[in-house]
Structure formats: C-alpha cells, structure tokens
Amino acid sequence: MRKLNSPSDLAKFRKAILAKKDPNRLTIAVCISTGCDALGASEVLEALEEEIKKQGLEGKVDIKKTGCLGFCEQGPRIVIYPQEVYYYKVQVADVPQIVSQTLIRKEIIDHLLYTDSRTGKTISKLSEVPFYKYQNRLLLENNAKVDPKKIEDYIALGGYKALAKALDSMTSEQVLQEVKKSKLRGRGGGGFPTGRKWESTRDAPGDPKYVIVNCDEGDPGAFMNRALMEGNPHSILEGLIIAAYAIGSHEGFIYVRQEYPLAVENMQLAIAQAESLGFLGKNILGSGFNFNVKIHRGAGAFVSGESSALMSAIEGKVGEPRPKYVHTSEKGIWEKPSALNNVETFANIPYIINKGSEWFQSIGTENSKGTKIFALAGKVNNTGLVEVPMGITLRDIIFKIGGGIQNNRKFKGVQTGGPSGGVIPVQHLDSPIDFDKLTDLGSMMGSGGMIVMDSDTCMVDVARYFVNFLCDESCGKCVPCREGLKQARNILNNIVSGKGKSADIHTLQQLAETLSTASLCALGQTAANPMLTTLRYFKDEYIAHIEEKRCAALVCKELLDFYINPEKCSGCQLCARSCEDQAIEGEIDKIHVIDQSKCTKCGSCFDICPPEYAAVQKTSGEVLPDVVPEGQRWMKRPWHPAEVPGPKKAKVMANPDVAISIIKSASHPILVVGSGVVEIEWEGRKLIEYLIDFVCKSGIPVVATASIVREFIERNYKPAASMSATELGSRLVDPEWKGIDGKGQHDMVLFIGLHYYMGIELVSGLKHFAPKLMTITLDNMYNPHASWSFPNASVKELINNFTVMISKSSEGEP
C-alpha cells in the first residue's frame, strides 16, 4: 500500500475505494466474532463459500466477515445486503437453501427469520428486530459494516477523517478543548472526565508521555471491549492517535488481556495496515506529528485493569496497584505522564472530532453524555451487547430490548458494574441510568456489565460468588483487602452452608466498612459493594439463611432437600437410574422414594424427572412429608406406560400464567367438562365450583358431558351445550360443523375431568383428524396427545392453577 501524505491523499484514496464499491452488490455479512464462532459460525462460513462456488455464483457475491453484532445468543447470524435480510441460528444444513433461494431467487426463507416472542410475528430486516430497534448504536453500528481485517472498509465509511481533520485544521489545544467540552467521561468504570485526564498528562512535567488503551476487561460479564476491538479495531486506533496528538505523546500501548486472542490478532493487523498507509509512524498524513503503538498482552489478573497496576504490568512487573498520591496521568509508566483510557472511550473520540462536542452533548443526561454499551447477560431473553443513550431506564433495557426474563420468571435484580458493582432490586427498575444515578443506588457503571437475576438467583450466593472472586484476585499487597475479603468469604461460606450465626450480618457490615475506607486501590475500596448492596436490598434472604436455614431461591446446596411427590410420580425409573449414590428406591409402576440418608443433593433426579411429571421436588427449610410405606407404593394413578404419543407430544404448561396466556390467544374456544370435576375437593369446595368461577370470569362456553349437566344446574350455571364426549369428538373433526354457538369452527378446545382413558382417546383422535385445532388439558394428569397440557400435579397444585387462572382472566376477552 502507498503511504498517504496528506488529508487530500486520504480523500482521494477513499474516493477510489468507493468507486470500486457497488452499493447494490449482493453481499453476505457473516459474524465470525468469538461468540458466534463458539456456535459454529466458521463452519457456516466455509459451507457458504463452497456452496456459492457449487451453485455458480462465484464472483457475483461478496462474503464479508464481520465482527460482533451484539445479539450473540442468536448466532451464527448472517445479514444479506442490499435487502438487509437477517437470518439467525443458521446451521450448515441451511446453507444450500440460502444460496439457491435467497441469493439466486431473492426469496426469503421463513424458518430462518427472527420471531418476535411478544407478537409472534417474523421479522426479516435486521433494523426492525426489537433488540436493535430501541438501541442507539453509535459505536457498534459499524461492526456490521466493516471487515475488521480490511482497513479499506473502515476508510470507506469515513474512517480516519477525524484524524485528518484534527491534524490538518485543529491545534492540539483545540482537540483537547473539544473533548473537554463534550463532557465525555471514561467508560472503563470510574467515569473520570476524559478531557481533564488528558490535560493533566499534557501539563505534567516529564517526557516522553504515554497514551494507553485499556482492553483488560477483567470484569466478568462485560464484553463490549472485546466486540469493539475484534470488530472495528481501526476506530480505537484512530481515537488513540487523536488522543496522542492532543496530549503530545509519541508512544502508545494497547493492553489486551490474553483471553482475547482474536482481539490481539485483529489489532495487530490493524496497526500494520495503519503503519503502511501512514496513519502511524513518522510525519502522519504530512502533519509532522509522529506516533507509534505497541500491543501488550495481559497475563490474566483482574487487578491489572486498575490503572497503576496495568502500568506496572506494561513495565513487565507484577501488576500490583500503588498508592495514588500522585495520579498515573502525571507519573505512570516508568514514572512518566501516562493517559490511560478504556477502549470504548477511545472509540467515541473520532465521532466527537467529526461531529463536534455540541452534537455529542445532545445525547445523554446532564452529567453523563453520549451512549453507553452494556453487556446484557444472565436470565434475560435477549442477551448481548446493547448500546443506548445515557439516561435510559433499566426497565427499557431489560424488558424492551432484553425481551424480559427467561421462562416468564420474576425479575429480582440486576447486577451492574462487575464485581465492584452492586445488585439493583426491582423497586429501582425505572431509574434512569447514568454514572451518578448508579452510584447513588450503591452500584456503579463499571465497564457496563449488566447481569439480570430472577427469582431463582440467591442473593447471598451472589455476594459469596463475588467475594470469592475478589478474594482470589486480590493482589495481597494491603491488609484490609487481603484479610478482610478472606474473612468475609469464610462468613458467607458458613451462611450458605447453613452454619451462619446471627452476629454474622453485623460482622459483614463492619468488614465492608473497613474494606471501603482502608484499602489501597479502587478494587479494594469497591470490593464491599456486592455485600453492601445485597445486605441493603435483600437482608431478609440473609436472615432466612441464618435463622431458618432456608434458601428461598433453592440454590444453596447444603440447605436443599429433594423428595418425590407420590401424587405425581409415574414410576418411570428415570430418577432411580440417574442417581449415582443409589439413594432412590423404586421399581417400574411403583412410587419412588429418596433415601435421605444416602442423598448427596446433587440434583440429578430433579433434572431428569420429565417436565410432564415434575414429581421430584426441591425444597429448602421445609419439613419433608412422610415416606409412603413399603407395601403401599403401588401407583394409584391410571398411568399407561405403553402410551406412545409419537413425535408430537404435548408441550407442558409449567405454570398457570403460561396457560392463561395460551388460552387468551384463542378467538373461539370451548371448555369440555367431564364428571371428574365433582370427585376432587379442596378445603370444602369441589373443583366444579372453581371451574364455574373460571368460566364466568373468562366467558368461555362450557360443553358438559353426561350427568355433569345436573351438577352445573344445581349450582346455578347453565352450560352452553350438553353431549357425550364421543359425539363432541366427531363434531369437532367435521369441517362443516358451525360450532356450539353456530358462529363457526372452534380454534381451541379445553378439557377437564374426562375419564383418563377417554381423554387420551378423544384428544389423540383430534390430534390426527383435526390437526389445526388446539387442544389443551387442564387436568392434573399429563395428557401426551394434547397440544398443551399441565404436568402431573397434586390436588393442591391443581386448585392453585385455577385460582391463578381465575384471577388473571377477565370477562369479554377469553
């Protein structure tokens, strides 16, 4: 490549690149970043290359290998331009169809499209997927458009224009003032104003001065720096060179943790390309400014992300922090002034120079400007990288972009800021998020990790996890951090294993105070945050662990008990076979029993028990029910072990909320009731009475079979029709039938209380002969032939299902 000697050289070079590019050319962008690759993106890419040759498209299609697009869990993902067709979870087997159908015939393949879980509609365009729609992807947007290994791609998008502008038409003072005016704050954690940091390095005596990119990203749960460095390395490099110009530095370092091999590789290549085009080295773009940069690989130490520790590591020493009476911006690497900023901070710089500080200030809140990338992970439906303007609420991030909590569970808290941050509970979901607000809530911005926790997450265990992490990562130089964390770990280990004492909470609080006031570096000072926030917002969980030996989230192993509910066991033997400790007694067709003296609480029985039986129970702090005596273990349930449902087996409605949302989706449902509803009784009320409440509230018409009509009438409820189950079955398969009310075919039939074998036969028939009809069984016995069925349930659970369904259904909208 020829060296560019002036901004006009760069402009010409860009023009030449653009002239060769055809915006309408067929291009497939395949994300091959670390995340998608873990899901098989390289294999998909290879298959694509091969298939394109095979189907004679060679030379007519460009394949672009891009960096991370952020929606990692949906990988491997491809985008086909110019139509912007977005396919996700692409497998090698899909490739021939993609080539023949979408590339050649321009047809969209429905099953590869993204389905919005809330509306059930498929979406073909990348920008219309809700995950992306509500973001403001300033820094991440280009990840989809550039091949990180090609500098031409970056230049085509206007890359290095900001550098040319700074060098050509701005003095270094003007650049610094522009950054200062933008109010950009450091994205690595502390949020220190970037402009002021640069200024103090520039003004500090001593030469040479250094600029450093911090890509240590040691916070578990954060990966935006990896995505930026892997996906768009030149944007960081450009920001770095501009910073060097503003500060008057001629030597820079890029510190990358060794866990990110692809980031190192792409950055190394980017540096070589920038050198050969003259963006690095001597007399950059003819300006007379010289700058060189080196990559330094980290060797795996969390504390190395701290600025003084990182600089020690660059010197080749042990990465331990030092007291900061004098800031590293004045005395850093080899005692020379050193400005260190996070990857994301540098990525913002070209935008600020190109578009001006006023534009940048228009995004965000009063004291936190611009966008922030969060790494959304944990128990949320859409995980990945989310870039949003500062000031957005947690609710918007987690529910609008993140699509809510996995498996419809309850949101409990979100952990922000990595191990030094804290857990923010549900009552603060509507807080606008910026640097200051997060600190007020007891957490911090940190690098932007955001780990969502649901009702299955134990907060004491979370605190223990972080304290354990920090304890391992403490460099050991100062006593409060080294010894304080060790003591806190011991206490938390005791609490989660049921050996906690009442005084422990007070001791933890004292330890936390000492840690935050007396530690040497920010790591120690903030190490208490996970303890402090969980104690502040979830103290009741600590008390339950200590006083009642109960872990409500059912996480802490020592506090758990497993038993088999005899009302739900189907005698299938799966659990008995999976138990490595032979702690389960059980023969086929007999109720199984766990021998508590042998149980090691490994949970494998709980995992293997099929969801339709859900017989193995996990509890904590409860008295276990009596064991069924040896001679009485024959199953009382009409279970049919030879019932083979075929490949289409009923999906399990794990809870009544799922049931009600399915029922509400129907436009013309009916409920078929059999005599079983008068045989079940709970707290003096028969099931039929709960059922009447349900149909009155939901407005679903009832078809009563046989003698059960009388029971309804006695209770002042008139069913819409009465006929035998077999007769109803033959009407339902008749395409001419106009429905129970003459208004047309039904789209959903709910069943309850039919004799077990009758139910099986009837629903099995409907599955084969009325395949479009949705069938749902509300009984407490799993019915494998329905579309949806409740799992095996005890009477108590069955009644609870109805109580919840009654409270959540409303008249007029079944």
User: Which of the ranges 32-40, 273-281, 339-347, 427-435 carries the binding residues for other proteins, by CB under 8 A?
Assistant: 32-40
Query: What letter does residue 498 receive in the DSSP assignment?
Result: T
Q: Which residue has the tokens 């009916």?
A: 670
Q: Which residues contact 167 (CB under 8 A, 6 or more apart)?
A: 7, 245, 284, 285, 287, 289
Return the residue of 78, 95, 236, 314 that touches other proteins, per CB under 8 A. 314
Cα dihedral sign, 186-192-198-204: negative
Return the residue of 297, 409, 536, 649 that touches other proteins, per CB under 8 A. 297
Cα dihedral sign, 256-262-265-270: negative
Return the residue of 65, 137, 197, 226 that touches other proteins, per CB under 8 A. 226
d(CA 377, CA 371): 19
Within 82-223, residue ranges assigned H as helices are 95-97, 130-133, 151-156, 161-169, 172-182, 194-203
> Is 243 buried (19+), middle (13-18) or exposed (0-12) by CB count in 10 A?
buried
Cα dihedral sign, 449-455-457-461: positive
29 binds other proteins (CB under 8 A): no
User: Which of the ranges 116-124, 383-391, 587-595, 790-798 carries the binding residues for other proteins, by CB under 8 A?
Assistant: 383-391
Return the residue of 415, 529, 722, 764 that touches other proteins, per CB under 8 A. 415
d(CA 369, CA 766): 60
252 binds other proteins (CB under 8 A): no
Going residue by residue from 441 to 460, which x/- string records binding to other proteins, judged by CB under 8 A?
--------x-x-x---x---
As given in the structure block, the two tokens for residue 536 are 């502040």
Could you tell me how far CA 701 lies from the centroid of its own chain? 41
User: Which of the ranges 130-138, 154-162, 311-319, 338-346 carries the binding residues for other proteins, by CB under 8 A?
Assistant: 311-319
Q: Which residue, 72 or 760, is less far from other proteins as judged by CB? A: 72
**Cβ-based neighbour number of residue 118 at 10 Å:** 11
- For strands 338-342 and 114-115, give the pairing: unpaired
Return the residue of 4, 29, 44, 72 that touches other proteins, per CB under 8 A. 72
Q: Which residue, 18 or 318, is less far from other proteins as judged by CB? A: 318
User: Which of the ranges 217-225, 282-290, 493-501, 703-711 carries the binding residues for other proteins, by CB under 8 A?
Assistant: 217-225
434 binds other proteins (CB under 8 A): no
Residue 594 DSSP SS3: strand
CB of 580 to other proteins, least distance (A): 8
Return the residue of 469, 613, 694, 751 that touches other proteins, per CB under 8 A. 469
Contact between 419 and 469 under an 8 Å Cβ cutoff? The reply is yes
CB of 110 to other proteins, least distance (A): 25
Residues 317-336 close enough to bind other proteins by CB under 8 A: 317-319, 334
Q: Which of 145, 548, 191 is nearest to 368 (CA)?
A: 191
153 binds other proteins (CB under 8 A): no
CB of 451 to other proteins, least distance (A): 5
Q: Which of 563, 789, 802, 783 is nearest to 682 (CA)?
A: 802
> Is 613 buried (19+), middle (13-18) or exposed (0-12) by CB count in 10 A?
buried
Return the residue of 301, 491, 593, 732 that touches other proteins, per CB under 8 A. 301
As given in the structure block, the two tokens for residue 595 are 């021998």
261 binds other proteins (CB under 8 A): yes
614 binds other proteins (CB under 8 A): no
User: Which of the ranges 119-127, 242-250, 296-304, 806-814 carries the binding residues for other proteins, by CB under 8 A?
Assistant: 296-304
397 binds other proteins (CB under 8 A): no
For other proteins, the binding residues (CB under 8 A) are: 34-35, 37-39, 71-73, 75, 217-223, 226, 258-261, 296-302, 313-319, 334, 375-379, 383-385, 415, 418-419, 449, 451, 453, 457, 462, 465-466, 469, 473, 475, 602-603, 607
